[in-house]
């Protein structure tokens, strides 16, 4: 019995040791699992720290076309990214005959080259013919338009929110435009001071409530896409007056501005070599002269209010792209200074 007892004790002891070993193995595995789970956030850390905005398909300083969701449907926007990855942006607005395939700043001027080495993104929306880049009261009733223009909403809400995903600031922007886009640039900056730090108007119509101006705009809009000015805003309604730089001039106080127009005298960019070219040049002279009359009236209003602006009023120049390219080059130092770019 003693031998049995002696032999059974080791057997019993062997069973107890095996159970302890299993327990130790269980806790070792549990510890390894816990450490693995704890390590997951650390391993995920670099991915979580990566920028949440989309990666540019082009390098810094490169050119890209984006399709931006909006209440008007997808809007094509041409972009030249800041040369050194900065967050500043310059919005370049087109004229009355804005096309649906390209923003004319990209092919009528050397704007891309002018800012190629600058740390500012060029933002060039495509489309908006005869829109004045504002929110219309209704679709145009004279050309079968199905949608209501909502360009101010797009340029100040939808587009900035989209570009913010690419690292473009919503508050460090400038805006510039010619003709229709010139008065629109001032309006956007006046009503959205949190977004725009500088505005430039090249040959803009800056007193659209002056006698005869509404009917002149009516004729121009019918010629450019058969758009109805009354669908944009009723005559001298609050919506119409809100668009008029002469009226909203007080809201431009302390905003850096570049305002240009010419006297309609033929210059180096006017070389008509056909009957069509001569007709277009005559129109360009008349349109620029009208812009200058508007600009002089606007200047008087601004001086009366004691509001400063940078004016550039050369004698030579017509309502045409060569001169707007030159004016953009003149405005460029002011724009970069305002944006700190």
Residue 37 three-state SS: helix
Q: Residue 156 has what DSSP assignment?
A: I
Q: Which residues of 35-72 are buried (b: 16+ CB within 10 A; e: fewer)?
A: eeeeeeeeeeeeeeeeeeeeeeeeeebeeeebebebeb
Give me the torsion for CA of 99, 105, 106, 108, rounded to 10°.
Answer: 90
* First vs last C-alpha separation in the chain: 98
Is residue 111 within 8 Å of residue 325, measured between CB atoms? yes
Q: Tell me how far apart the alpha carbons of residues 106 and 87 are, in angstroms, rounded to a whole number.
A: 21
**Known catalytic residue: 291?**
no
- Alpha helix ranges (H) inside the chain: 2-49, 111-114, 151-153, 159-164, 180-191, 213-223, 229-232, 238-242, 245-248, 275-305, 321-339
Longest dimension (CA), the chain: 131
CA-nearest of 161, 159, 164 to 51 is 164
Active-site residue, selected from the candidate residues 152, 291, 319, 320: 319
Instruction: Report CA torsion sign: 251, 253, 258, 260.
Output: positive
- The tokens of 138 are what? 């209704």
Q: If DSSP codes are grouped into helix, strand and coil, which group holds residue 310?
A: strand
Residue 179 falls in the annotated catalytic set: yes
Asked if 7 is an active-site residue, the reply is: no
Of the candidates 198, 288, 291, 320, the residue annotated as catalytic is: 288
Structural tokens at position 216: 């002149």
Please pick, among 70, 131, 179, 320, the residue that the annotation labels catalytic. 179
Residues catalogued as catalytic:
179, 288, 319
């Amino acid at each position: 019995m003693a031998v049995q007892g002696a032999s059974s004790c080791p057997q019993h002891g062997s069973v107890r040791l095996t159970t302890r070993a299993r327990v130790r193995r269980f806790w070792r595995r549990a510890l390894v699992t816990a450490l693995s789970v704890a390590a997951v956030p650390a391993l995920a850390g670099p991915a979580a720290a990566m920028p949440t905005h989309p990666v540019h398909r082009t390098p810094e300083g490169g050119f890209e076309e984006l399709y931006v969701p909006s209440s008007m449907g997808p809007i094509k926007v041409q972009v030249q990214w800041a040369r050194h990855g900065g967050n500043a942006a310059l919005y370049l607005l087109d004229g009355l005959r804005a096309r649906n395939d390209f923003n004319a700043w990209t092919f009528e001027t050397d704007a891309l080259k002018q800012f190629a080495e600058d740390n500012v993104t060029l933002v060039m929306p495509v489309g908006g013919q005869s829109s004045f880049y504002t929110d219309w009261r209704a679709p145009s009733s004279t050309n079968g338009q199905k949608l209501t223009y909502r360009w101010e909403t797009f340029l100040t809400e939808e587009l900035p929110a989209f570009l913010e995903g690419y690292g473009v600031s919503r508050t460090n922007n400038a805006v510039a435009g010619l003709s229709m886009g010139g008065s629109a640039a001032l309006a956007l900056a006046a009503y959205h001071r949190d977004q725009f730090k500088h505005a430039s108007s090249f040959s803009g119509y800056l007193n659209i409530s002056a006698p005869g101006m509404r009917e002149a705009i009516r004729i121009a809009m019918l010629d450019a896409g058969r758009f109805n000015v009354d669908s944009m805003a009723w005559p001298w309604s609050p919506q119409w007056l809100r668009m008029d730089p002469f009226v909203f001039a007080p809201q431009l106080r302390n905003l850096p501005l570049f305002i240009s127009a010419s006297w309609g005298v033929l210059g180096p960019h006017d070389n008509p070599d056909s009957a069509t070219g001569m007709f277009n040049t005559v129109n360009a002279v008349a349109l620029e002269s009208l812009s200058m009359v508007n600009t002089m009236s606007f200047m008087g209003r601004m001086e009366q209010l004691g509001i400063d602006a940078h004016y550039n009023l050369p004698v030579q120049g017509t309502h045409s792209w060569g001169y707007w390219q030159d004016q953009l080059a003149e405005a460029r130092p002011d724009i970069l200074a305002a944006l700190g770019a």
